[in-house]
Amino acid sequence: MSNESKSMFPEGPNDSTLGSSSPGGRGGKEPSETEVQLYPTVAYPIEGGEFWRVLVQGRLCHNAPPSLTKRLLLKGFIRALDLDETTVKSEIFNDRMHGFLVTPIARGRIQISLGGQTYVLPRKSKSSGLFQCKLDLPKRQLERFRRLGAPSVASSNRIECTIRWTDSVTTATSPVFLADDTGISVISDIDDTIKLTDVCSRRKMLKRTFAEPFEAIEGMASVYQQWAQTGAIFHYVSSSPWQIYDSLQEFIDSSGFPSGSMHLKWFRLRDELFKRWQIIRRKSKFGVISNLVKRMPNRHFVLVGDSGEKDPEMYAKIAAKYPRQIVRICIRQIEANPIDTPRLNKIYKRYGMVVPMQIYSHAKQLGSSPA
């Protein structure tokens, strides 16, 4: 499909055309078509291993023309980034903005299927269209799902989950990664850790996030694939918006990174217009990572991030809280905000040297084994 047919601004970014056509990159969906997303997630044993808890997460929305409020916010966003007409009409920009412009489906009832068994989730979708729920399954049932087909280490660590939106025949399928009671989990940041983002510059960060092709950090996909071959599973924890999940997942797949559970952040366009995105970014990841570690008390964790924001301080704080579980911290050196000796000493003074930090400038320094 051509860019012209997919652009949200077929005549350019002016008031008369803002949101006048369906945002692109979604296969020419007709207005009001239901969109169902199911995000990659994780399952882990509970109650001494007799049950497994499956975390289910996704989003329901209508691919309807955006409201006047959203169109005005979008116009302000475009002006704030000083984007030209060619960029605004591009497939990349349309794809990245799509999730912000669709109409959420609130209070939707969701059915999911695991191993041929259907379950109705007890919680309905939120006003944002997002839904999150815990589903507890007996161990024997989960193991039967796992045995349905897994000739390799990677495939034995995952099962497929399918969601069906009850008011439509629309379905979506996504993996559930099985975190056994013991083993290695790699918790990886995305921005400036595996994907070049320039988070230290607000303008560069936003342009790289919404208007430019994603660019992988050299060598990281190869290292992560080597780690995956040892049996490690991955959890991508990022302050990037859930609304660009499709683009991020495509980047991970096309760049050769191992698949893993995804843990992103919900944003609104007005948050950026009022300069709140970077504030929200800084507050989002600590709780997500702490909960992952807490839920899997017998697993070991490797934390991989960068020096650009607060990953070193946050990872040190988590290591101090869970010293038995955090076995390695890797920090990619960012020139715009390097982790120098004074900063490192301050971290160790505050949180202790529970796990020494490995500061690296190239992926090859990380080695072929996660721990």
> What is the pLDDT at residue 277?
55
Q: Which carries the bigger pLDDT value, residue 165 or residue 186? A: 186
Cα(13)–Cα(246) distance, integer angstroms: 24
* pLDDT band, very low/low/confident/very high, at 18 (cuts 50, 70, 90): very low
Q: Is the pLDDT of residue 12 over 60?
A: no
* pLDDT band, very low/low/confident/very high, at 283 (cuts 50, 70, 90): low
255 in Cβ contact with 247 (< 8 Å): no
Residue carrying the six token digits 């045995």: 147
> What is the pLDDT at residue 124?
92
Q: For 111-139, what is the mean pLDDT?
A: 90
DSSP codes, 247-297: HHHHHHHHTTPPP-EEEEE---HHHHHTT-HHHHHHHHHHHHHHHHHHH-T
208 in Cβ contact with 251 (< 8 Å): no
* pLDDT band, very low/low/confident/very high, at 141 (cuts 50, 70, 90): confident
> What is the pLDDT at residue 27?
39
Q: Is the pLDDT of residue 273 over 60?
A: no
Q: Is the pLDDT of residue 285 over 70?
A: yes
The pLDDT mean for the chain works out to 86
Q: What percent of the chain has pLDDT over 90?
A: 65
First-residue to last-residue Cα distance in the chain: 45
Domains observed in the chain: 1-30+65-101 (no CATH), 46-60+104-178 (2.60.40), 184-366 (3.40.50.1000)
Q: Is the pLDDT of residue 165 over 70?
A: no
Q: For 247-251, what is the mean pLDDT?
A: 98
* pLDDT band, very low/low/confident/very high, at 272 (cuts 50, 70, 90): low
Q: For 135-157, what is the mean pLDDT?
A: 73
Q: Is the pLDDT of residue 5 over 70?
A: no
How many other C-beta atoms are found inside a 10 Å radius of the C-beta of residue 68?
Answer: 11
Nearest to 236 by CA among 294, 305, 172: 305
Nearest to 311 by CA among 331, 335, 327: 331
* pLDDT band, very low/low/confident/very high, at 279 (cuts 50, 70, 90): low
Q: Is the pLDDT of residue 269 over 90?
A: no
Cα(44)–Cα(180) distance, integer angstroms: 6
Q: Is the pLDDT of residue 190 over 70?
A: yes
Q: Is the pLDDT of residue 238 over 50?
A: yes
For residue 367, what is the DSSP state? -
